[in-house]
Amino acid sequence: MGSVYLSTAYLGPVQQYCKLLQYPDVYFETAENYLKQTYRNRCVIAGANGPLSLSIPIEKPDSLKCLTRDIRISEHGNWHHLHWNAILSAYNTSPFFEYYQDDFIPFYEQTFDFLFDFNEQLRQLICDLLDIHPTVHFTETYQVDTAHDFRESIRPRNPLEDASFSPTPYYQVFREKHGFLPNLSIIDLLFNMGPEGILVLNNSIAG
C-alpha cells in the first residue's frame, strides 16, 4: 500500500488506527501549522449519555501560526483528573477496562510538556496492545501533494469521505441505549473488544 500521512491525535479514532494497520509506512505530520477543534487535542468516547468529547487544553501560541510539534499542553483546569474520571465512568464496566487500565493511568498522573509527545507515547502503547507495528516516520518539513493523505480528512466535524474505511460494528457498553456509535476513540474498541480489536480494524478496511 505504500505510505500514508496522518496528523497526530489524542487517543485517535478507529479510522486512524485502520490506517496504521493498513499501511506499512506511516508519516506523522509535525511541521504543519496547528489546527484547533481537531483530533490533535481531542477524542470522542461513548459516555452514558452518548458521545462525549474530551479536549486537552493547550497553551496559546505566541503567534497566530505555530507548528504542531511546538504546541504545549496547559495544566489549566485539572484536565488529567477530569479526563480519567470520564474514561473510568464510561468504561469501568467494559470487558477489558480492568485488564488495560494500569497501562493508561500513568498518562494521567504525569506531566507532559508537548502535545505531540503525549499523543505519540499513547499511540505507541495502543499499537503495542493491539499488536500493530507500522514503520513510523516524523516529517521535518510540510509535504504537499502526497498520496494517501489523511492529515485533514480524519476530523471530528464534517469528515471527508473515505472509501477505504467502513466501520464494522462491535460490542459497546451503551449500545442498547444509543445504538452503535462508529469511529469513536480507539480506546472504545480496545476496552470493549480487547485483543480482538485488531480483527475489527481489519474488517473495517474497505477496498
**pLDDT (tens digit per residue) in 164-181:** 999 999 999 999 999 999
Q: Is the pLDDT of residue 162 over 70?
A: yes
pLDDT, tens only, 9-36: 999 999 999 999 999 999 999 999 998 8
Q: Is the pLDDT of residue 1 over 70?
A: no
Tell me if 58 sits within 8 A of 74, measured CB to CB. Answer: yes
**In the predicted model, what is the mean pLDDT of residues 61-77?**
88
Question: Which of residues 154 and 76 earns the better pLDDT score?
Answer: 154
Strands 3-7 vs 25-29: parallel, antiparallel or unpaired: parallel
Q: Which domain does 8 fall in, by range?
A: 3-204
CA distance 51 to 74: 24
CA distance 185 to 12: 5
Q: Is the pLDDT of residue 195 over 80?
A: yes
CA distance 149 to 165: 14
CA distance 177 to 170: 14
Q: How many domains does the chain have?
A: 1
Q: Is the pLDDT of residue 153 over 70?
A: yes
Q: Which residue has the cell 487544553?
A: 57
Q: Is the pLDDT of residue 73 over 80?
A: yes
**Phi, then psi, of 66 in degrees rounded to 5:** -145, 135
Question: Which of residues 159 and 126 earns the better pLDDT score?
Answer: 126
- Helix, strand, or coil here: 127? helix
**In the predicted model, what is the mean pLDDT of residues 187-204?**
98
